[in-house]
A and B are shown apart, each in its own frame.
Chain A
Amino acid sequence: MSEHDKPRGLSTNRRRFLQLTGAAGLGLAVPFNLANVRLAHAAGGQLRVRIGSDISILDPALIFQIENQTVAGHVYNGLVKYDQATNAIVPDLAREWEVSEDGKTYTFHLHEGVNFHKGYGALKASDVKFSFDRVRAEATGSRYKGQFSSIENVAAPDDKTVVITLKGANSGFLHKVCAFNQGWIVSEKAVTEKGEGYKLDPIGTGPFMFDSWTAGSSVRMVANPDYFEGAPKVDEVVLRIIKDETASAIALENGEIDIAFAIQQPEVIDRLRSANGVTMLSREANNTVNLVLNTTIKPMDDVRVRRAIIHALNRKGLIDGFFKGTKAEAYSVLTPTFQEYTENVPKYDYDPDKARALLKEAGAEGFEFEIVTVALNPYDKFPVPMADDLNAVGINTKITVLERGAYVQARASGRVKSCITAVVGPPDPDSPLVTLFSTASFPPGLNTSQYGEVDDLLDAASAEQDLEKRKALYEDIVQKTMEDVPVVPIFADRLFMAHSDKVQGLVQNSLFTVNTYSVSLTG
């Protein structure tokens, strides 16, 4: 059964032999295989990438899910962007920018000669203003409105200059206008013209133009020959929707796809690592995956119970056992990819006895607990051993797996006892911290804990201009939240993707998306 136990050359030979004999035996198979080979050569410029689920909305104001963000990352640019490799903020549409003395005014100077796709004209400062104002407008119903809450005004004094005035100094502001989600710049003309249709007919300035979408099957993007940083090296990118990871792995080995994006299953990762002709990439993501405890529900309002829960969980065992080391330990909700990362926090070892003692002290032995999670790999899987750990110390734990819509609704109600939440996003400390711990993100926001002890610190940190002081403030926040543990960081996420040897120059980012601008195909 296990193909890769055998010497590889032999096995591929056998496969080819079977292919030939099988093909001859079936008669019909011969033209198919020939056709495949011929097409693969003729369309040498087609890059096929596996994604796990279908796309839905490509409008940056409404966008969510890594698959949509992956498409958008090819189609759009921002004023600035994260360097794929280093996460440093580097110029994108803005070739340079200045920040005023008081830190309240940002002036961006746009590149010359940047054009929108499909004849939608040159990029103008007014498009940037339109994009940002659109996200900020109540009527748009953007999920990222809050990200721009620090903006007072966006102005376009001329075609190539954008001036953004802030309500107060915000040292992390550049993160908000990075090429991701609300930071992506749309064409005013296209959005106005297309209306509802814009959701799946995006017009940007990026290296690839959106071409077509076959529901449930694939998304096609074609190279933008006039891209301002130079045309991409492949002619087109086809994102192929393959839900099952094992099927993706087989397809990658069979040469049916070139890149298998977002592989989660440890066994599939293992298998692809040792597969011939396949390279496995991995990178720390910017997020942890957390168990969020609702502090408004008894007995989780008691910090001793919350500490009992974190002591009861064998997080190391989960990472080494279930995940086979494909994830990393997390000491707080900030991962090492953040500049503000710190390990100087209260730590909680796996200690069932201590957990039992804490529960006894709090008089909460044998309470009924529920973990609400979403039906996506691996979120519907790793809670299984967690529940077992909790049951072992006498916390009666039930798992409820909900499909995405129902899950979001249950979480937004603020009435779940606990839920699994990951804040996937840029390496902006505000992204996980404000989202998880600010009173501004009480349900329907993601602060399902309804924990509100660090608001002042959060405000102070984002207003602080001095980098060292700012870092210290964030450390205070992280320490305080780990002291009170409204949120249990379960593991630091890692993103895996595999590609065939045909693929050259793929750089993995930490945003949980894949960008193929740098990729070329050989052979």
Chain B
Amino acid sequence: MTDVATDTAFDGDALRDREGARRRRRQAVRRYLTHPAFMIGGTVLILLGLVAIFAPWIAPNSPLKTNMSLILAGPSWEYPLGTDQYGRCVLSRLIFGTRISLQVAFWVVTISLTLGTFIGALAGYIGGWIERAIVVVIDIVLAFPGFLLALALVAAQGSSLQSVIIAVAIAYTPRVATVMRSVVLTIRPRPFIEASHAIGLGHLRILLRHVVPNAMAPVIVVATVSAATAILAEAGLSFLGLGVQPPTPTWGSVIADGQAVITTNPSISISAGLCIAVTVIALNLLGDGLRDTLDPQMRRQTGAKML
């Protein structure tokens, strides 16, 4: 209901100039490498990815092993962040929790990006009553606060990693679709699209070859933001006890477990909160970097849509 299409974002003609394209690619790489936000965000995320992949080797202990004689122990060499009320190693749980959060972020982005891009591109490109119908449906879904929708969907499917991912992805797909559509709307009347029509290229081919690649930049920016939102949403669901089943280590459930002992052992909840915050900050920095680098003018459309 509030899409404000902007214009003059992409220079279609220049794209066909191969020499220029190569030069621009080199410049772009340089721009990325010198953009501090992008570099910091990217580095932190790569590190987190490594932690997730190598969790079994990095973690000092099993994240699941309970120990009834070592409950809420303070930090030690064996348990660098102490233990929780089941005697489990908090650090190991946080390290393994990285896996869940990144998985949620990855799958939510993959699903909502694929679906959202497709739906948005379809609506923007085809137009007519299909577009109107899609827009109405998107408006309806957007009228539900995203978190509430995810909550209801998880309750519907029963809590598991899968249903958390599906729920959050469904809740955030329309947001991607909205951005995609408004971007496509701005490219559709461009001369190179009309030219493609004129030389008889099929619709699907035009859509795939020209419209989607041109619209990818803003959508990627939206993707980083929805990854951040997905991580926060997973944590919120876990906190309400609707997330992944125990004893699976997730950052949200570490906060929830720690809540019971927050006055005596605040470090448990605090450290898990910091993990979430660091990841979300990294994703946002990456998003900011991408936005600045990909196209400074995109700011407004993606800005207003990124929620």
The interface of chain A, by Cβ under 8 A from chain B, is 1-3, 244-246, 249-250, 265-268, 270-271, 314, 317-318, 320-322, 324, 375, 377, 380-381, 383-385, 387-388, 398-403, 406
Closest to B160 in A: A400
Q: How far is the CB of A423 from chain B (nearest CB, A)?
A: 24
A323 to chain B, nearest CB (A): 10
Give every chain A residue within 8 A of B261 (Cβ-Cβ). 246, 265, 267
Residues of chain B at interface, number, CB under 8 A = 27
How far is A266 from B261 in the complex, measured between Cα atoms in Å? 9
Expressed in whole angstroms, the minimum distance between the Cβ of B215 and any Cβ of chain A is 41
- Which of B67, B246, B260 interacts with A246 by CB under 8 Å? B260
- Contact for B158 among A245, A324, A406, CB less than 8 A: A406
With both beta carbons as reference points, the residue of chain A lying nearest to B155 in the complex is identified as: A403
The 5 closest A-B pairs by CB, nearest first: A321-B68, A317-B68, A385-B66, A388-B66, A267-B261
Q: Is the interface of B mostly helix, strand, loop or mixed?
A: loop
Residue of B nearest to A314 (CB): B68
CB distance from A318 to the nearest CB of B (A): 6
**In this assembly, does B87 line the interface, its C-beta being within 8 Å of a C-beta of chain A?**
yes
Q: Are A401 and B68 in contact (CB under 8 A)?
A: no
- B65–A267 CB distance below 8 A: no
The 5 sampled A-B contact pairs (Cβ below 8 Å) are A246-B260, A265-B260, A321-B87, A384-B66, A403-B241
Q: Does B2 contact A (CB under 8 A)?
A: no
* Nearest CB of chain B from residue A403's CB, rounded to whole Å: 7
Complex CA distance for A182 and B93, rounded to whole angstroms: 47
In the complex formed, the residue of A with least CB distance to B88 is: A384
Tell me the complex Cα distance, A400–B245, Å.
7
The reply to whether A384 and B262 contact each other, CB–CB distance below 8 Å, is no
Which residue of chain B has the shortest Cβ distance to A391 in the bound complex? Answer: B64
Measured between beta carbons, the chain A residues less than 8 angstroms from B71 are 321-322, 324
- B86 lies within 8 A of A322 (CB): yes
Task: State the CA gap A321–B83 with chains docked (Å).
Answer: 13
Q: Are B68 and A318 in contact (CB under 8 A)?
A: yes
- A174 to chain B minimum Cβ distance, whole angstroms, is 40
Question: Which of A244, A267, A314 has the most C-beta atoms of chain B within 10 angstroms of its own C-beta?
Answer: A267
Given contacts A1-B266, A399-B247, A406-B158, contact A385 B68 (CB under 8 A): yes
* CB–CB B263/A401 < 8 A: no
Interface positions, chain B 242-282, Cβ under 8 Å from A, are 242, 245-247, 259-266
- In whole angstroms, what is the CA distance A321 to B87 when docked? 9
Q: Which residues of A contact B293 (CB under 8 A)?
A: none
In whole angstroms, what is the CA distance A387 to B66 when docked? Answer: 10
Residues in chain B within 8 A of chain A (CB atoms): 64-69, 71-72, 85-87, 155, 158-159, 241-242, 245-247, 259-266
Measured CB to CB, the nearest residue on chain B to A266 is B85
Contact A271:B68 (CB < 8 A) given known A375-B241, A399-B246 = no
Whole-angstrom CA separation of A1 from B85 in the bound complex: 18
Q: In the complex, what residues of B have CB within 8 A of residue A380's CB? A: 241, 246
B264–A401 touching, CB < 8 Å: no
The answer on a CB contact under 8 Å between B241 and A401 is: yes
Cross-chain contact B86 with A384 (CB below 8 angstroms): yes
Query: What residues of B have a CB within 8 angstroms of the CB of A318 in the complex?
Result: 68
Q: Give min CB distance, A350 to chain B, whole Å.
A: 10
CB neighbours of A385 from chain B (8 A): 66, 68, 86-87
Residues of the B chain whose Cβ atoms lie less than 8 Å from the Cβ of A398: 245
Docked pose: A251 CA to B80 CA in angstroms:
32
Q: Let me know if B260 and A268 touch, CB within 8 A.
A: yes
Q: Which residues of B contact A268 (CB under 8 A)?
A: 260
Taking CB as reference atom, which chain B residue is nearest A270? B264
In whole angstroms, how far apart are the Cα atoms of A322 and B159 in the complex?
25
User: Judging by beta carbons under 8 Å apart, are B247 and A250 in contact?
Assistant: no
Q: Are B158 and A402 in contact, CB atoms less than 8 angstroms apart?
A: yes
Which residues of chain A come closer than 8 Å to B266, judged between CB atoms? 1
* Cross-chain contact B247 with A384 (CB below 8 angstroms): yes
Say yes or no: B259 contacts A244, CB within 8 Å: yes
**Is A271 a contact partner of B86 (Cβ separation < 8 A)?**
no
* Bound: A322/B257 CA distance, A: 13
How far apart are A251's CB and chain B's nearest CB, in angstroms? 12
For the complex with contacts A1-B266, A246-B259, 6 further pairs of A-B residues with Cβ separation under 8 Å are A246-B260, A265-B261, A271-B264, A314-B68, A377-B260, A380-B246
Chain B nearest CB, measured from A420 CB (Å): 13
Decide if A401 touches B86 in the complex (CB within 8 Å): no
- When the two chains form their complex, are residues A1 and B263 in contact, meaning their CB atoms are under 8 A apart? yes
What residues of chain B lie closer than 8 Å to A403, measured between beta carbons? 155, 241-242
Which residues of A sit under 8 angstroms from B65, Cβ to Cβ? 388
CB distance from B193 to the nearest CB of A (A): 51
Chain B residues, CB < 8 A from A320: 68
